Copies of this chain bind each other. A is one copy, B any other.
């Protein structure tokens, strides 16, 4: 049985004074401290990062991590665009399924703010297809296409989208590690500048720096000594063409639907048992699609349900994005999927302080690459 026994997250935000290496170091040793482990108890590291190759001509980071920890253990760099963290976690669970008892770190980090917005936007576009890049599409543009399709098909307006950001900024105001801790009003969101119609500044997740690390084990001796632990009930992933023009539908993310079906089947629990979820809200429309594709809400009803704010902290039996989500907690790409699972770990072990979802027993993390070329659904329980 694989269990998460520790988590550490650096501050997410514009961390001008920090390097990728220093963020990685803080996350690794922070997670070890949280779980009362030493580095020589770790058997392997799964490292999630998207853009260090493009932005700082830095590949082969596994060897840099070997230097940081002073050990020669296996270190793997996994890249699936914005889903890199979830995919790294998935592979780590498979690695532990081996018949031996091991403890590994899943580490995610990204350093994005040292570069111009144009450079970062172009680097992020590497998660789209060559055809889409050649057409001049960036990610706000791609998600705007989906948002337009959804709003028109189901007769919603930009106001419906605004409630996602409203809720997630509210949650982030209780999260010390969040990129943004300011609460927003629906009016302020609606008055913000357009990035790609109908998506405005406050519909979009920010460019952030940050790192996060999880400790995963199937070693019974280590598990027994752990102060906190949650069980990995399922970690499933699916892929799909990244090209929007090759999809059957623009109002669903097929990879999310497939991964969710597999994960709930594997975990043997029902949707209604999930008390807390971190879903991939890179743009406001993405959280609405995610809630529908994960099977929490009926297709097309999300625009209406989000306005009821039932997924806001303390309102119902399911809280969504208590960390503030990508939107307000920040989106240092490689760290995001790791942080999502970490937030569920904190919630299920009653360590989420002011943003604690009371009595949470089952949690879900949902991590998407690009516009849905990869999706990972992880279900944890206590």
Contact = CB atoms under 8 A, between A and B. Distances in A.
Interface stretch (A90-98, A151-159, A178-186, A215-223): A90-98
A329 interface: no
State the main secondary structure of chain A at its contact with B. mixed
Contacts of A81: 59-60, 63
Interface string A124-137: 01111110010000
A67 interface: yes
Contact of A94 (B75, B95, B374): B95
Contacts of A51: 53, 59
A255 interface: yes
A373 B53 contact: no
A239 B62 contact: yes
Contacts of A258: 72
Interface stretch (A205-213, A225-233, A241-249, A316-324): A241-249
A301 interface: no
A99 interface: yes
A57 interface: yes
Contacts of A67: 240-243, 246
Contact of A80 (B58, B60, B125, B369): B60
Most chain B C-beta atoms within 10 Å of own C-beta, residue among A72, A97, A240, A241: A72
Contacts of A59: 50-51, 54, 79, 81, 126-127
A227 B71 CA distance: 42
A238 B53 CA distance: 22
Interface string A105-145: 00000000000000000110111111001000000000000
A239 B57 contact: no
A254 interface: yes
Interface string A42-73: 00000000110110111110111111000111
A370 interface: yes
A63 B239 CA distance: 6
A76 interface: yes
A260 interface: no
A63 B98 CA distance: 27
18 contacts: A50-B59, A51-B53, A54-B59, A58-B126, A60-B81, A60-B128, A62-B239, A63-B129, A63-B369, A63-B373, A64-B129, A72-B258, A74-B237, A76-B80, A76-B87, A95-B95, A97-B97, A97-B98
